[in-house]
Structure 1
């Protein structure tokens, strides 16, 4: 069985917020027009697949600001999580496994409860 790490609460909170920010950014980008700047639609039948996009009104200043804010926060959190002092306590050979466990730590309680029942 894989080792289970006792992650510090601030590292767990940072990873959870990173998951949330990435989900929020992904959802926002899916709702926004395909082009940041206004652009004409196009359709291309050349190549191995057809590519088509409708005309894009572009993003508003508020939408651009929201994307920038989320990207900035995502970067801050990614740096916080990846450079946290906890990683110095984990053997270099075990860091990939520990980082993977951290990414899935929010899934652990549900999985453990299912096993206990």
Structure 2
């Protein structure tokens, strides 16, 4: 049976925002050209895997600023979540388990016990 954790609301909110910021940053990076600076395309067939990239126009100043803003916010939230006073009550594997459960706490609706916890065993 899964161990329930009573995560503080500010910690849950911080973790949820961290998920959102990471998703937004990931989506932005996927839309942007592969190189920050303008670069010619390249091709390399001689290695163990073929690499081929088109020319990159680079990122605009606004795009660079947006990436920097999201990375800075991601860092702030990661520090907030990982250094929260809530973790001081746990040690070793218990802290790891609690942290893992927090990462997935937002995956389910409140009161939803139909998650995949039924297959877990107590260590």
Tell me, what secondary structure is at the counterpart of 1:38? coil
Moved more, 43-52 or 13-22: 43-52
Moved more, 104-113 or 68-77: 104-113
Aligned residues, how many?
Answer: 115
Alignment of 1:8-87 (within 5 A): 8-87=8-87
Gap change, CA 1:29 and 1:9, over 3 Å in 2: same
Q: Which runs of 5 or more residues in structure 1 are unaligned?
A: none
Q: Which runs of 5 or more residues in structure 2 are unaligned?
A: 116-123
Q: Deviations over 1:83-113 (max 9, x none)?
A: 0000012233300000000000012327826
TM normalised by structure 2 equals: 0.88
CA–CA distance in structure 2, aligned partners of residues 32 and 108 of structure 1: 31
Q: Deviations over 1:18-65 (max 9, x none)?
A: 000000000000000000000000111011111000000000000000
Displacement over 6 Å in runs of 4+:
none
Moved more, 27-36 or 83-92: 83-92
Gap change, CA 1:50 and 1:111, over 3 Å in 2: farther
